């Protein structure tokens, strides 16, 4: 079975993928869900001293020395976008050593990091790439400057107001309008997860990992096309209720790459689809 590496979004934790993980594991797949904000959990995720371990079955496989070294050097993933991409690449290579080339999946911020990782590591061993509601980089330098200013303002707001007040505002963004229809318990779980993070790391992630540091969208699309030419399946995923990323999906499709629009879903497609499917 194929292994999956799942990257969470801004202010989320690995638990945000729990519903997806349960279904993948039930189908026999192995899953790896790193905490993007800190690397100290990587040894538990991947196994001590570079060995990938299955906590339930007790199996382990020695990892690649180069990947181990890259992972060990990634002490502070919040140092830069390059640092977190290097860490993700090291994780992918260690998983590939143990389980074969994995599918790399990223949602929102995690999708941007996944996309930038394949830009910076074009030789990454992958069985597939899924980008959910992910920005693919600025259209031009004017957009890059605007994104830098926006992300800087958001980071300052986080530091000055604190996480709870920031999330009070964040949840009113049009991007998350469809989440107002979530059941109360699901909505409360999303809120609890968002405010569980400290303001410092969240602010640093906006500054260090923001879209203003990504390659231009044209470059990213070119790299994704190269992946498909190597027979690595690529899929861009967005909800029809998410106007911003539906437009990105349209540009992905115009570039000749696969893109799927999920009906009646917003920005967090997997959350909304699994939440409402469980109620039926």
- Output the domain CATH number for residue 52: 3.40.50.1820
CB 95 within 8 A of CB 5: yes
Distance (Å, rounded) from C-alpha 262 to C-alpha 93?
Answer: 31
Q: Which residue did the predictor score with more confidence, 45 or 34?
A: 34
For the cut 90, the answer to whether the pLDDT of residue 274 exceeds it is no
For the cut 50, the answer to whether the pLDDT of residue 52 exceeds it is no
Count how many Cα atoms sit within 13 Å of the Cα of residue 163 in the half-sphere of its side chain: 16
What is the pLDDT confidence band of residue 202, given thresholds at 50, 70 and 90?
A: very high
Stretch 211-220: mean pLDDT? 98
Query: Over the stretch 56-109, which tens digit does the pLDDT of each residue have?
Result: 333 333 344 566 656 655 568 899 999 999 999 999 999 999 999 999 999 999
Same domain, 117 and 173: no
Same domain, 257 and 178: no
pTM (two decimals):
0.91
Same domain, 51 and 110: yes
For the cut 70, the answer to whether the pLDDT of residue 200 exceeds it is yes
Domain boundary (183, 207, 231) is at 207
Same domain, 145 and 267: no
Stretch 192-205: mean pLDDT? 97
Total domains in the chain come to 2
Stretch 217-225: mean pLDDT? 98
Domain boundary (159, 185, 207) is at 207
Same domain, 257 and 175: no
Stretch 118-132: mean pLDDT? 97
For the cut 60, the answer to whether the pLDDT of residue 279 exceeds it is no
Distance (Å, rounded) from C-alpha 192 to C-alpha 205?
Answer: 19
For the cut 80, the answer to whether the pLDDT of residue 147 exceeds it is yes
For the cut 80, the answer to whether the pLDDT of residue 125 exceeds it is yes
Report CA-CA distances (Å) from 238 to 112, 186, 219: 13, 20, 20
Range of the structural domain that residue 171 is part of: 141-207
DSSP string, 201-242: HHHHHHHHHSGGGSPPHHHHHHHHHHHHHTT--EEEEEETT-
Question: What percent of the chain clears pLDDT 90, i.e. is strictly above it?
Answer: 81
Please identify which residue in the block is written with the tokens 């969240």: 202
Per-chain mean pLDDT for the chain: 90
Question: What percent of the chain clears pLDDT 70, i.e. is strictly above it?
Answer: 87
Using the Cα atoms of residue 151, residue 156, residue 159 and residue 163 in order, give the sign of their dihedral.
negative
């Amino acid at each position: 079975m194929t292994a999956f590496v799942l990257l969470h979004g801004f202010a989320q934790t690995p638990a945000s993928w729990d519903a997806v993980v349960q279904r993948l594991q039930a189908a026999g797949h192995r899953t790896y869900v790193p905490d993007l904000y800190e690397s100290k959990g990587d040894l538990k995720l991947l196994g001590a001293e570079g060995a990938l371990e299955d906590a339930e079955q007790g199996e382990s496989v020695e990892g690649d020395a180069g990947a181990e070294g890259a992972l060990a050097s990634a002490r502070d993933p919040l140092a830069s976008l390059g640092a977190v991409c290097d860490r993700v690449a090291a994780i992918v290579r260690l998983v590939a050593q143990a389980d074969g080339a994995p599918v790399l999946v990223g949602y929102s911020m995690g999708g941007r990091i996944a996309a930038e990782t394949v830009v910076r590591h074009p030789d990454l061993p992958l069985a597939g790439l899924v980008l959910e509601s992910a920005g693919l980089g600025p259209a031009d330098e004017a957009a890059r400057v605007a994104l830098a200013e926006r992300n800087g303002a958001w980071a300052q707001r986080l530091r000055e107001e604190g996480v709870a007040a920031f999330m009070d505002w964040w949840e009113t963004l049009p991007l998350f309008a469809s989440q107002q229809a979530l059941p109360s318990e699901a909505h409360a779980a999303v809120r609890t997860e968002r405010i569980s993070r400290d303001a410092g790391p969240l602010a640093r992630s906006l500054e260090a990992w923001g879209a203003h540091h990504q390659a231009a969208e044209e470059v990213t699309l070119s790299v994704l096309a190269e992946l498909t030419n190597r027979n690595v399946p690529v899929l861009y995923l967005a909800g029809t209720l998410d106007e911003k990323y539906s437009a990105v999906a349209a540009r992905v499709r115009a570039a000749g790459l696969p893109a799927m629009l999920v009906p009646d879903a917003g920005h967090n497609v997997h959350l909304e689809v699994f939440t409402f499917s469980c109620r039926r």
